[in-house]
Amino acid sequence: MKRMTNDASGLQRRSGATYQITAEEVQQYKDQGYLTLNGFLNEAEMATLDPWFEHFVQGKEPGMGKDFCDMSQPYGTPFEEFRLVNAMLPSHYRSELVDNIYFQVAQSVADQLYEATAVMDYEQFLAKRPQKEAAEFAMHQDLGYWPKTENTWTATFSLALSDSELQNGCLQVCPGTNKESELRNHVPKEFGDGHTEGDGNRDDSHTLVIEMLPGDEIVYLPVKRGSVTIHDERIVHGSGGNTSDEWRKTYVMAFRDSETVRQEREMGFTHSHNDEVNWDEIIH
């Protein structure tokens, strides 16, 4: 394949399901813990994902339990009041999504970012309702949500199904935090009505939050529909509310080392909110 420059468009970089990235981008991911890749999927490919996204975020998939929830509010919030709609593990519920084109192209990039074997660990659909200022995804490090494993390598892709902008609450990261030696302390999010997650047992909500430090600099990552951001497991990130008249729609897919995923499953951890695990015991 021909050598690519960082500003080459997606169309120039794609060959079948392979999206070629540059050595500079691999290095940027290692150093800075995030990356943006434009033109990841074309419009025809995006159109194969849209109906499934709508099916899930409109709450049409039965039997999801806590896998269908609002990440900005406690479990049990009525659907009509959802702000940050979250549907976990869509391809577990609908086999039509297994091995979809997004997965294939993301796998091709994960393979270039990682020198060992990267496998898809989990995916999720996220949608922010229009004019919901409180549809925030609380700042966190992904590792704060996950079990302790020796190898923590991760590449989490966020595919924009709608243009993702500052006004509708695009992803935001704190560069440099990916290099911090210690993971920050994650605590259950408080919901302002005296309702917390409840002693960290995750019965009431899944959402954790960290304290931001005075030196934390926020960089916003707006992307067009069909483009992706990728972030690692240590970078402090989250997203703001949606003050626009349009939905923000995102398809998240995370790749981790194959042995890490095997260890997670051995602990009974699948990234489903319905997992019956002792969260206090296994989580970082």
Q: Is the Cβ–Cβ distance between 185 and 248 less than 8 Å?
A: no
Instruction: State the nearest-atom distance from the C-beta of 158 to ligand AKG, in Å.
Output: 5
**CA dihedral (134, 140, 143, 148) positive or negative:** negative
Cβ partners under 8 Å of residue 214, min gap 6: none
Near ligand AKG by CB under 6 A: residue from 89, 110, 171, 221: 171
Instruction: State the nearest-atom distance from the C-beta of 241 to ligand AKG, in Å.
Output: 10
Q: Which of the ranges 112-120, 185-193, 197-205, 235-243 carries the binding residues for ligand AKG, by CB under 6 A?
A: 235-243
Integer Cα distance of 233 and 113 in angstroms: 14
Binding of residue 207 to ligand AKG (CB under 6 A): no
Near ligand AKG by CB under 6 A: residue from 100, 177, 239, 242: 239
Tokens found for residue 113:
């970012």
C-alpha closest to that of 39 among 223, 197, 277: 223
CB-closest chain residue to ligand AKG: 239
DSSP bridge partners of 34: 231
Binding of residue 234 to ligand AKG (CB under 6 A): no
Identity of the amino acid at 281: E
Binding of residue 158 to ligand AKG (CB under 6 A): yes
Near ligand AKG by CB under 6 A: residue from 142, 197, 232, 257: 142
Binding of residue 141 to ligand AKG (CB under 6 A): no
C-alpha closest to that of 260 among 179, 158, 148, 122: 148
Identity of the amino acid at 20: Q
Near ligand AKG by CB under 6 A: residue from 86, 156, 168, 242: 156
Binding of residue 228 to ligand AKG (CB under 6 A): no
Instruction: State the nearest-atom distance from the C-beta of 204 to ligand AKG, in Å.
Output: 19
Side-chain half-sphere exposure of 178, counting CA atoms within 13 A: 21
Tokens found for residue 100:
């979809």
Q: Which of the ranges 21-29, 39-47, 89-97, 232-240 carries the binding residues for ligand AKG, by CB under 6 A?
A: 232-240
Residues 93-132, mask of contacts with ligand AKG (x by CB under 6 A):
---------------------------------x------
Instruction: State the nearest-atom distance from the C-beta of 65 to ligand AKG, in Å.
Output: 20
Cβ partners under 8 Å of residue 271, min gap 6: 88, 89, 121, 122, 124, 264
